[in-house]
Amino acid sequence: MEKMWAGRFEKALDKKADDFNSSLRFDCRMYAQDIRGSIAHAKMLESVGVLSKEDKDLIIDGLTGIKADLDSGALAFDTGAEDIHMFVEAELTKRIGDAGKRLHTSRSRNDQVAVDIRLYLRDECKTIRALLKEAIGVLVKKAEEGVDVIAPGYTHLQRAQPISFGHQLLAYAMMLKRDYARLLDAVKRMDEECPLGSCALAGTTYGIDREFTAQALGFSGVSENSIDGVSDRDFCLEIMSALSIVMTHLSRLSEEIILWSSWEFKFIDLDDSYTTGSSIMPQKKNPDMAELIRGKTGRVYGNLMALLTTLKGLPLAYNKDMQEDKEGIFDSIDTVKICLEVLAPMLATAKLNKENTYRAAQKGFINATDLADYLVKKGMPFRAAYKIVGTIVGECIRKDCVLDNYPLDEYKKHSELFAEDLYNEISLETCVGKRNSRGGASPTSVRAQIEKLRAFLLAAELGE
Ligand code: ARG
């Protein structure tokens, strides 16, 4: 296929260089957005008298037909084109003749691609937000199942204090809720500056109406500097950063799922449909999905680092380096989507083993803080109580006891404040049940969090 710019050259582009230069194999996924942008541009050109109504109608019909044929597969991507923008324009001209050649008036691929990526990201981020809501919904449901499931809470991966297992699950729901807001925020900012009309870099001498195209394409405003308009990829960085944070959260949750499903913990059983066997060890049931989510986090971080590095040091305005923005961000989007799609049902089908979480909570002296608090409530200063309980824990370890079955007369050797009621005060049920401070680990608090998250999900649904 002859290049659009062939007139200026005496020789054709080398085949290898041509392949190297071409972005069609990956930017073809923005065809719908490219066509949407072109239709808005054609309408605007007609509205300011640059295009005739006939040409505009021909262009819109032609583009609509191309979109339908690409959707149905009747039209295949011609790999001879340099990129999706050239492909659509060439196909349009093939279909409608001269009118097709008028579409690119007062436009450059530089502002065209800057619009296309934004439209594409807006659509994809909406899908990701829906997936985040779904995952939050699953966490809320599981937390509801786990409200009265007592488990050890950890610090340093050492048993620390007893919690409702639902509380731990909702910690992840809170993270994903912020991820949702972060993505929405990034998209809102991106949508404030439609770059269309920046043209190659310097705007145009045509009397174009940039507000017209911005509005038609769902932007809330236009970029105020044409050089910035074609050079800005901050929005890609912001979205990739938000996606990296999503992966951090999914990876941490996956790590816990891997731990919880191991024989060492057995807090949960993953469903057979989300686990795999081993080719040699007949007994194995591996949490591959969770491991893959944890593993794929690296590539999403890597994509962000790659684009930061690509952009660093680029002179203004457009440089071909910027074509490198797409593969990474597309990969980050695909990765986050597939991870959320797998994570939600994996979690939804997992079973909580409340006997095991309870048994784990009985070991590790996780009610020691509560025993100290018992003395404090009877008038002892916290630091003194803390010291006494530490000594008692040491004795228990040596005598192979736990606080719950350590005899009262032994307790009394350390303080006269100890009485029979201590056993009730340090029972796991009391320890968890009384952790009613706002945001605490008690079932009441977990129920309040569930209500809040449900309200958030509802509001998010209505807001989309
Ligand atoms: N395929 C190009 C990209 O993705 C489109 C913009 C090309 N602009 C140019 N002046 N060669 O960045």
Q: Which atom of ligand 1 is nearest to the CA of 83?
A: 1
Instruction: Report whether 106 contacts 206 (CB < 8 A).
Output: yes
Ligand 1 binding pocket mutation candidate from 108, 109, 230 (most atoms within 8 A of CB): 109
In this prediction, residue 2 has a pLDDT band, given cuts at 50, 70 and 90, of confident
| Whether pLDDT at 229 is above 80 | yes
DSSP codes, 274-307: G-B--SS-TT--B-HHHHHHHHHHHHHHHHHHHH
The residue contributing the CA closest to ligand 1 atom 12 is: 323
User: Quick one: pLDDT at residue 94?
Assistant: 96
In this prediction, residue 66 has a pLDDT band, given cuts at 50, 70 and 90, of very high
User: Quick one: pLDDT at residue 455?
Assistant: 97
Structure tokens at 307: 């684009």
User: Quick one: pLDDT at residue 276?
Assistant: 86
Angle at Cα 451 formed by Cα 448 and Cα 453, nearest 5°? 110
Instruction: Please work out whether the CB of residue 232 comes within 6 Å of at least one atom of ligand 1.
Output: no
Measured distance CA(60)–CA(42) in Å, rounded: 8
Instruction: Please work out whether the CB of residue 83 comes within 6 Å of at least one atom of ligand 1.
Output: yes
| Whether pLDDT at 340 is above 80 | yes
The residue contributing the CA closest to ligand 1 atom 11 is: 320
Ligand 1 binding pocket mutation candidate from 83, 227, 231, 319 (most atoms within 8 A of CB): 83
φ, ψ dihedrals at 430, nearest 5°? -70, -45
In this prediction, residue 464 has a pLDDT band, given cuts at 50, 70 and 90, of confident
Residue 314 DSSP one-character state = P
The residue contributing the CA closest to ligand 1 atom 3 is: 323
Q: What is the pTM of this model?
A: 0.95
| Whether pLDDT at 13 is above 80 | yes
Mean predicted lDDT score pLDDT of the chain? 96
In this prediction, residue 79 has a pLDDT band, given cuts at 50, 70 and 90, of low
Instruction: Report whether 194 contacts 115 (CB < 8 A).
Output: yes
Residues known to be catalytic: 156, 278
In this prediction, residue 6 has a pLDDT band, given cuts at 50, 70 and 90, of confident
Between the CA of 103 and the centroid of ligand 1 the distance, in Å, is 17
The percent of residues above 70 in pLDDT, for the chain, comes to 100
Between the CA of 323 and the centroid of ligand 1 the distance, in Å, is 6
Instruction: Please work out whether the CB of residue 213 comes within 6 Å of at least one atom of ligand 1.
Output: no
Ligand 1 binding pocket mutation candidate from 13, 320, 326, 329 (most atoms within 8 A of CB): 320
Cβ burial of 144 (10 Å; 0-12, 13-18, 19+) is middle
Measured distance CA(453)–CA(451) in Å, rounded: 6
Q: Mind listing the pLDDT tens digit for each residue in 268-323? A: 999 999 998 878 787 878 999 999 999 999 999 999 999 999 999 999 999 999 99
Structure tokens at 148: 């009265």
Instruction: Please work out whether the CB of residue 388 comes within 6 Å of at least one atom of ligand 1.
Output: no
Instruction: Please work out whether the CB of residue 107 comes within 6 Å of at least one atom of ligand 1.
Output: no
Instruction: Please work out whether the CB of residue 176 comes within 6 Å of at least one atom of ligand 1.
Output: no
| Nearest of 170, 195, 164, 331 to residue 253 by alpha carbon | 170
User: Quick one: pLDDT at residue 8?
Assistant: 79
CA distances from 459 to 39, 131, 242, 454 (A): 33, 15, 21, 9
SS3 state at 139: helix
Structure tokens at 102: 């008028």
Q: Give the total residue count for the chain.
A: 464
Between the CA of 20 and the centroid of ligand 1 the distance, in Å, is 13
Between the CA of 335 and the centroid of ligand 1 the distance, in Å, is 25
Between the CA of 449 and the centroid of ligand 1 the distance, in Å, is 48
Measured distance CA(65)–CA(389) in Å, rounded: 78
SS3 state at 83: coil
As beta bridge partners, residue 352 has 268
Instruction: Please work out whether the CB of residue 87 comes within 6 Å of at least one atom of ligand 1.
Output: no
